[in-house]
Copies of this chain bind each other. A is one copy, B any other.
Amino acid sequence: MTEDIETRISRVAFDDDGLAPAIIQQFDTGEVLMLGWMDAEALRRTLTSGRVTFWSRSRQEYWRKGDTSGHAQYVKGARLDCDGDALLITVDQVGAACHTGDRTCFDADDLTPAVGER
């Protein structure tokens, strides 16, 4: 039997602001699309509705990916890390994940590391 939803949410170690970072990954290609923030309620909505919901730190409100852009994220899976303080949400992303129109939020800015020797 699947654990109660509140039991699952209670395992998350939210930070002092009540938030945890959520990595959003395309379920089939493995692309990392973006990183957002969730509080307990955003996670609850994500786990129960099939659509990814975030908490906006800048606007101090919930937002559901795609409601303004049409580029929804449909939930495929959700995992909690070993410390309980980071989330990995696998999704099926409709269209661009980034508000700039890029496929992912990590497409535009290459920090060009020096690649070390083995």
Tell which of A21, A98, A114 has the most Cβ of chain B within 10 Å: A114
Interface size on A (CB < 8 Å)? Answer: 53
Pair A74/B23 contact, Cβ less than 8 Å: no
Copies in the complex: 2
A82 CB, nearest partner CB in chain B, Å: 5
CB-CB under 8 A for A8 and B78, given A30-B29, A35-B21, A86-B35: no
Q: Please, what's the 1-or-0 string for A46-89, where 1 marks a CB less than 8 Å from any CB in chain B?
A: 11111100000000000000000000001111111111101111
How far apart are the CA atoms of A66 and B56 in the complex, in Å? 35
Within 8 Å by CB of A88, from B11, B32, B99, lies: B32
A111 with B81, Cβ < 8 A, contacts A29-B30, A50-B117, A117-B50 known: no
Can you list 6 A-B contacts with CB-CB less than 8 angstroms, sorted by A residue number? Answer: A32-B88, A35-B81, A47-B112, A47-B113, A78-B110, A82-B109
